[in-house]
């Protein structure tokens, strides 16, 4: 037998404390139910695409300097996303009773984390709004979400969701689709990386987009074409954002 050098009672495991169940808010329970429903019923697949965000960064800086407006990358991506959804309406559809149903409007939900849970307020008819209108609407929705003052109409009618964790230093992540929607865009941070530009190494501000798709509605080729369209708009945004 090997003698122990640890004094009696020191370092030894103490009696286990009784487990304490966390008190869950109604919003957290609803989030848990919806994500479980989505994960267990929708066959997910994911497509990832690195994009050069240099022109997006420059456009945002120029806009903020000129108009003194609080503008986020999420605002810009909502505008670009809405344009891509116009070109690829299958991504703006849903699965319903064994059929694919096209949504008549493009209503982009914003994943917002609050203390009570995850909320997804909606920018309705995002394709018909200017960047400034989108920014004003996003600011209003997020502030009221954090204050617990969202209205029921703020949370209904979403046809596609965007989740941006770039502000938390996340490079890339895959997200669970927000049912009954068919797709969700997860956005990582913009960070300098060494990439090949015309055959030579260069440092560029890069961003990774991850597209979550419901395979009952969207196949790989359709998802890839949509993501390509969004990447092209992100790398050359002037036509839509000027």
Residue 179 sits in a domain whose CATH number is: 3.30.559.10
Determine, yes or no, domain membership for 155: yes
DSSP assignments along 99-121, one per residue: EEEE-SS--EEE-EEETTEEE--
Q: Say what the pLDDT of residue 239 is.
A: 75
Owning domain of residue 158: 26-241
For the entire predicted model, the pTM comes to: 0.89
**Pick from 215, 212, 242, 211: nearest CA to 229:** 211
**Pick from 155, 215, 182, 177: nearest CA to 37:** 177
Determine, yes or no, domain membership for 100: yes
Q: Tokens 């806009």 label which residue?
A: 63
C-alpha Rg value of the chain to the nearest Å: 22
Q: What is the pLDDT along the chain (242 residues), one digit of tens a residue?
A: 444 444 444 454 556 677 878 788 888 888 899 999 999 999 999 999 999 999 999 999 988 888 788 899 999 999 999 999 999 999 999 999 999 999 999 999 999 999 888 999 999 999 999 999 999 999 999 999 999 999 999 999 999 999 999 999 999 999 999 999 999 999 999 999 999 999 999 999 999 999 999 999 999 999 999 999 999 999 998 877 76
**Pick from 107, 88, 114: nearest CA to 28:** 114
Determine, yes or no, domain membership for 18: no
Q: Say what the pLDDT of residue 41 is.
A: 92
Tally the domains of the chain: 1
Determine, yes or no, domain membership for 10: no
Q: Say what the pLDDT of residue 9 is.
A: 47
Distance CA 176, CA 69 (A): 32
Cis ω for the linkage preceding 180 (within 30 of 0): yes
Determine, yes or no, domain membership for 154: yes
Expressed in percent and rounded to 5, the helix, strand and coil fractions of the chain are 40, 25, 35
Looking at the annotation, which residues are catalytic? 215
Determine, yes or no, domain membership for 145: yes
């Amino acid at each position: 037998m090997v003698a122990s050098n640890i004094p009696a009672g020191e370092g030894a495991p103490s009696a286990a404390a009784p487990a304490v169940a966390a008190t869950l808010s109604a919003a957290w329970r609803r989030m848990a139910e919806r994500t479980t429903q989505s994960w267990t019923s929708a066959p997910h697949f994911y497509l990832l695409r690195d994009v050069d965000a240099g022109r997006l960064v420059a456009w945002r800086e120029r806009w903020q300097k000129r108009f003194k407006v609080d503008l986020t990358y999420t605002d810009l991506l909502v505008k670009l996303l809405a344009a891509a959804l116009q070109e690829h309406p299958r991504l703006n559809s849903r699965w319903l009773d064994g059929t694919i149903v096209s949504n008549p409007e493009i209503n982009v939900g914003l994943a917002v984390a609050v203390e009570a849970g995850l909320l997804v307020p909606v920018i309705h008819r995002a394709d018909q709004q200017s960047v400034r209108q989108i920014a004003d609407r996003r600011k209003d929705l997020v502030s009221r979400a954090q204050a617990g003052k969202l209205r029921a109409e703020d949370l209904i009618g979403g046809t596609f969701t965007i989740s941006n964790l770039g502000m938390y230093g996340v490079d890339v992540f895959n997200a669970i689709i927000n049912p009954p929607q068919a797709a969700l865009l997860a956005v990582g941070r913009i960070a300098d990386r060494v990439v090949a530009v015309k055959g030579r190494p260069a440092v560029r501000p890069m961003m990774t987009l991850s597209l979550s798709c419901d395979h009952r509605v969207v196949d790989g080729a359709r998802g890839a074409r949509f993501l390509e369209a969004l990447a092209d708009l992100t790398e050359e945004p002037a036509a839509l954002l000027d």
